[in-house]
Amino acid sequence: MEQDEILNLVRKKAENWLNSNVDEQTKNQIRYLLKNDEQELTESFYKDLEFGTGGLRGIMGVGTNRMNIYTLGMATQGLCNYLKKEFSQLKEIKTAIAHDSRNNSRHFAETTAKIFAANGFKVYLFDELRPTPELSFAIRHYGCQSGVVITASHNPKEYNGYKVYWEDGGQIIKPHDKNIIAEVRKISSVNEINFNGNDENIFLIGKELDDIYTDKIKSLSLSPEIISRNNDLKIVYTPIHGTGVRLAPMSLRKMGFKNIISVPEQDVISGDFPTVKSPNPEEHAALKMAIRKAKENNADIVMGTDPDSDRVGIVVRDNRGEYIILNGNQTASLLINYLLTKWAEKGKITGKEYIVKTIVTTELLVEIAKKYGVEHFDVLTGFKYIADVIRHFEGRKVFIGGGEESYGYLAGEFVRDKDAIISCSLIAETAAWARDQGLTLFEMLLHIYVEYGFFKEYLVSIVRKGKEGAEEIALMMKNFRDNPPARINNSEVIDVIDYLDSKSLERINSRNGEIEIPASDVLQFFTGDGSKISVRPSGTEPKIKFYVGVRENLGRISDYNRVNTILDSRIEGIIKDLKIQ
């Protein structure tokens, strides 16, 4: 489409909003953009926000491509219309709503509640901010047909988002995601949104559910006696201005830990995230204050959750005594190794148990599962696919745990999304278990490497914002498809998996038994030296991501530095060969 055509389309969409029932403040902002800022006008209206791997997410502002009460309202009205069709046999449709600490989150949550109520639904709305996983728990607890959480996870402060959940407590997947979008697209004007809800249909959820939720987390504990012996473990915890501020320490204390050290400056609930540039626990800068607090107190472990508390970053001392952030693959390996070891020791493995990971997550989890005779499943990136496996096998097999490299983990079946509150509690228990054996978590990780092999992963994210950026990312994927490399870093490419290719899917499905992997814009290259390179556009951010995984035997712990250097060199060679940095 030519630039003039795009601008004409954008202007037409903006004029439609001016002639609708949007509020006067919004109209004034649109008028300003029409007269003064053609570029921002285009970015705000050139497309409609759509559901990606995490739902609806975007920069807050006016326009069809921005998060505001009207784009949110159209999504909610479309969701309402779909729920009425899907659950027409029910006398009453129930929904639950939660929100994080971001600017406008409470306003967006209350707006969503009013629209649900206006459509005749019974609505459970948390009385204040809560972790995303507790929303998943609430849907199942109250027998809801759907739910929404207002959050943009760990995105920068200008973002907000809207995640939709289904009756099983998991995020929506095929066919519901596309069907909801189809219903939204039928709404031609914001005038069709029913904002005038009956407040009598809205019920506030308070502390009573927090108690039930954290009691369930405590029931996951596998080593209460070990915690009792190590209850003075020094844990520094930061919510990074988000929803974990109360429930993460509450859950840790219920598990039996007594020495929880806060970071007061980051206990302040704020959508401006005043102490960090980005509230992403994957980034060192976000955990800088917590690490400083750990050094002051000689802490054993640092935990930092993102604003909606579904991801957690873990900091431990390495073999030189320095505090380092574990990557998501390392934390997942420690957690899964602990869970499977303890399940085996307790005689709980009967042949029906399984773990789940995403296709871009470390293959080390597969090796650990093999040792204990536990089945494993690979799914696409996005925790909703892990939840779908749990739903698929419910009542037939037992989910022990699972995770993804992007700092999201889960154990147990009462929540159907990644859960940083559960993860903090069980990772602390893992640290207590290691300490009970005279080991730090990092030393425990080295023992895992010696037993199963040294797996190392690295992520390269290339950001390309806006319309032009989206086109550039699409072109990069096309080039990799049309001209796949024959060798990468002097190692032959022995297998290529294209998740848009039905033949590739057929091969993948055969590896996963009953689990169907839907088509997705993902490429994977496997080389003769055991490397795995995955390429995918992000579903929630303007990025294309390259996941590089390499492996090498580690004969003994004293060889760690030497083998680590070898793996670093291999990763650098792959990045250079693919020209991605």
Q: Which amino acids are annotated catalytic? A: 153
CA distance 303 to 356: 23
CA distance 483 to 498: 13
Between vectors from CA 538 to CA 384 and to CA 14, what angle results, nearest 5°? Answer: 100
Specify the 3-state DSSP secondary structure of 125: strand
- For residue 405, give the DSSP letter: T
CA distance 86 to 479: 41
Between vectors from CA 426 to CA 348 and to CA 273, what angle results, nearest 5°? Answer: 155
Q: Which residues pair with 518 in a beta bridge?
A: none
Indicate the angle between helix axes 420-436 and 207-218, nearest 10 degrees.
Answer: 30
CA 384 to chain centre: 9
Contact predicate 126/204, CB 8 Å: yes
CA distance 200 to 197: 9
For 578, the token pair is: 């693919």
Between vectors from CA 305 to CA 300 and to CA 308, what angle results, nearest 5°? Answer: 165
CB-count burial class (<10 Å; 0-12, 13-18, 19+) for 471: exposed
DSSP 462-485: EE--HHHHHHHHHHHHHHHHHS--
Amino acid identity at 489:
N
Q: What contacts 481, CB < 8 A, 6 or more positions away?
A: 498, 500, 523
Contact predicate 281/305, CB 8 Å: yes
Q: Are strands 235-238 and 260-262 parallel, antiparallel or unpaired?
A: parallel
Q: SS in 3 state form for 28-88?
A: HHHHHHHHHCHHHHHHHHCCCCCCECCEEEEEECCCCCCECHHHHHHHHHHHHHHHHHHCC
- Dihedral (CA of 475, 476, 477, 479) sign: positive
Length of the chain (residues): 581
Indicate the angle between helix axes 328-345 and 441-452, nearest 10 degrees.
Answer: 80
Going through 138-191 in order, the beta strands assigned E by DSSP cover 146-150, 159-166
* Among the listed residues 323, 521, 317, the one whose alpha carbon sits nearest the alpha carbon of residue 435: 317
CA distance 237 to 235: 6
Indicate the angle between helix axes 420-436 and 132-142, nearest 10 degrees.
Answer: 110
